[in-house]
């Protein structure tokens, strides 16, 4: 099984030495660089680059640059998504975001995890687990979402939180690690 297939199946794969994965990241980072150089008022050019980066143009997408990805094509965004500045979507596995979601500045969605054993880690191994965020969510500034996490519909994640476990629908979660502190009556 090649490294891309292992990556897509959530198995341990060599992210640091596989030439195809390295080239895919180079291409995506070059496209993200182009996106980050566009004037904020040049919406047409910005949308063309977003479509090139994601492989599709999400409806009514707004990305405030700078914005970073690993591959781009593993990101699936719903309609009316707002991504504030300095966000990083580490899309080694699929990142799925529902409709009407807001991401505060410096939010990170991290699908990759590394072995605890330093010898395996030093060989470049990692594993990628998907992240899913439901509809109508708001992640505040400096939120970090860890590999394999699912955030339900209608959730608010407080600024500075680190989400390490699934969050049920209509929850306010806060802290490090994030814990549900309240249910939202929608």
Two tokens at 9? 């199946």
Q: Does residue 114 carry a catalytic annotation?
A: yes
Residue whose C-alpha is closest to residue 108's, from 95, 126, 127, 121: 95
Q: How many helices (H) and strands (E) does the chain have?
A: 4, 19
The contacts found for 49-54 with CB under 8 angstroms, 24 or more apart, are 53/28
What are the CA-CA distances from residue 14 to residues 4, 8, 60, 91, 172 (Å)? Answer: 9, 12, 36, 15, 37
Q: Contact at 8 Å (CB) between 119 and 99?
A: no
Active site residue: 25, 114, 150, 179, which one?
114
Residues with catalytic function: 114
């Amino acid at each position: 099984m090649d490294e891309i297939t292992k990556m897509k199946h959530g198995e341990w794969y060599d992210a640091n030495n596989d030439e195809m994965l390295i080239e895919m990241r180079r291409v995506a980072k070059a496209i993200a660089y182009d996106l980050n150089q566009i004037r904020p008022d040049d919406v047409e050019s910005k949308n063309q680059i977003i479509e090139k980066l994601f492989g599709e143009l999400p409806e009514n997408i707004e990305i405030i640059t700078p914005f970073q990805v690993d591959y781009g094509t593993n990101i699936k965004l719903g309609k009316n998504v707002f991504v504030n500045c300095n966000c990083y979507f580490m899309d080694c596995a699929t990142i799925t975001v529902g409709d009407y979601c807001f991401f505060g500045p410096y939010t990170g969605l991290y699908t990759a995890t590394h072995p605890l054993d330093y010898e395996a880690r030093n060989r470049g191994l990692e594993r990628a687990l998907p992240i899913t965020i439901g509809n109508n969510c708001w992640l505040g500034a400096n939120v970090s979402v860890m590999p394999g996490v699912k955030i339900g519909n209608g959730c608010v994640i407080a600024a500075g939180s680190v989400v390490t476990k699934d969050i049920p629908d209509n929850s306010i979660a806060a802290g490090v690690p994030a814990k549900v502190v309240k249910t939202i009556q929608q």
